[in-house]
Amino acid sequence: LIGSLLTMAAVAYYTAPYEMVTRLWIVSASLSMTLFPAFSAMEGVRDRERLSIFFSRSIKYVFLVSGTIVVLIVVYAEQILQLWLGSDFAAESTVTMQVLATGVLINSIAQTPFALLQGVGRPDIPAKLHLIELPIYVGMAWILISEFGIAGAAGAWIIRVALDAVLLFILTFKIYHISPCL
């Protein structure tokens, strides 16, 4: 019984910061919903130059908006948690919140190549990547949670989203010859 209560407390220490920082996805999700048809239309008329410009600008905008908020969350995570949920909660969840916020930024930026691949008719690429990432993520999560608890869970997740982002960008650059430096 005591072990299950400790586990439930750990879930709460993870869930509260997760719920807070994942609200930032509204920025990238809103942009992705408008990029999908734009990428599709540009691919339909083979306007690769405009597609590249939209791609790079959307990454910059997401980075500027979400990145600014994430920096504030990372720097002031402990104070935010203390005000919101108290000192005990802040002591247990600060690192987790910082790691999760950074992961949300990485994942938000990765929404642009995801939207591009979806919009140009290649939804198979992200789906295949997710299937490849699943066993890697489960193994990492098992090891990191066992060793570091909720901070390990956050660490496993950020590693997975970082791997996903890198692979999405590499495949987007390779398949569509988009320059990462526009």
How many DSSP H helices and E strands does the chain contain?
6, 0
Q: Looking at residues 50-71, what average pLDDT do you find?
A: 88
**Who has greater pLDDT, 51 or 122?**
122
Instruction: Assess whether pLDDT exceeds 60 at residue 182.
Output: no
Q: Looking at residues 158-162, what average pLDDT do you find?
A: 95
Instruction: Give the tens place of pLDDT for each residue, 12-46.
Output: 888 888 998 988 888 888 887 777 777 777 776 67
Distance CA 70, CA 51 (A): 27
Mean pLDDT, the chain, integer: 86
Measured CA angle at 22 (ends 17, 26), to 5 deg: 150
Residue 39: in which H helix or E strand, if any? helix 25-44
